[in-house]
């Protein structure tokens, strides 16, 4: 969802992306190239690099339930994960809220000198389009983000990530944020006793239904059991083909 402060937040997020790209991807050589093996090859001192403080968007909640690719990025290439996660957020905002990103302005030194409010986000992102492509080339598993970035540069409606498991760094976090207890009268997002994630149904639905407590699972079983059994048959039939 887009925060209530309108166009200001997309500009701030875009600024984070560009600042991090500036820190992570080295300057081009004289022939206009960037050495891929120089991108994120050393552990970065985030505290000593103010522009990198945005990396702390990486929280336990953000990557809970993610697969090996995402966990690998978080443990070895936090900056790449943070940059792509923010680009994915910008893409979803632009797609769902009608040019909310492309109309935003980033205050720059040049715009202040000219007495203007700022430069359009697409123009600012275009300056780092090559840097972003280099980052993705150096970080396997993130190629899905390039069409999103390119669409933002072109002020076009970005594509949504596909349904492939490695086509989004936010899929797991968005999924878990949307989960609620399956009992219709309950809106809990965590277990009542421990505050941990919702407990999954152990039947044939393979935890498609989740609950905050055993009591709610039991109360919902009469309604859920038909779906649970049909899902079990579906999984079995498709596994045989």
Longest dimension (CA), the chain: 70
Tokens of 196: 């941990």
Please state the rounded mean pLDDT for residues 13-33: 77
Q: What is the pLDDT of residue 196?
A: 79
- Give me the residue spans of the domains in the chain: 8-173, 179-239
Confidence of residue 176 (pLDDT cuts 50, 70, 90): low
Global pTM value: 0.62
Confidence of residue 142 (pLDDT cuts 50, 70, 90): confident
Helix segments in the chain, DSSP class H: 8-24, 60-63, 68-76, 78-97, 109-113, 121-126, 129-138, 145-153, 171-178, 214-239
């Amino acid at each position: 969802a887009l925060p209530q402060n309108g166009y200001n937040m997309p500009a701030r997020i875009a600024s984070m992306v560009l600042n991090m790209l500036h820190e992570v991807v080295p300057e081009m050589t004289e022939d206009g190239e960037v050495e891929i093996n120089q991108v994120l090859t050393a552990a970065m001192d985030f505290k000593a690099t103010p522009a990198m403080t945005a990396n702390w968007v990486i929280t336990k909640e953000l990557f809970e339930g993610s697969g090996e690719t995402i966990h690998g990025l978080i443990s070895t290439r936090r900056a790449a994960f943070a940059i792509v996660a923010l680009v994915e957020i910008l893409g979803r905002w632009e797609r769902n809220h009608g040019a909310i990103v492309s109309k935003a302005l980033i205050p720059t030194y040049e715009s202040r000198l000219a007495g203007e409010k700022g430069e359009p986000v697409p123009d600012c992102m275009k300056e780092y389009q090559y840097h972003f492509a280099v980052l993705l080339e150096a970080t396997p598993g993130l190629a899905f983000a390039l069409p999103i970035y390119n669409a933002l540069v072109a002020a076009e409606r970005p594509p949504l990530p596909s349904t492939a498991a490695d086509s989004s760094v936010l899929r797991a976090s968005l999924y878990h944020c949307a989960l609620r207890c399956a009992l219709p009268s309950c809106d809990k997002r965590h277990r009542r006793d421990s505050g941990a994630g919702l407990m999954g149904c152990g039947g044939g639905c393979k935890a498609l239904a989740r609950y905050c407590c055993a009591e709610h699972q039991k109360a919902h079983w009469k309604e859920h059991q038909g779906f649970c059994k049909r899902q079990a048959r579906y999984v079995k039939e498709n596994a045989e083909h």
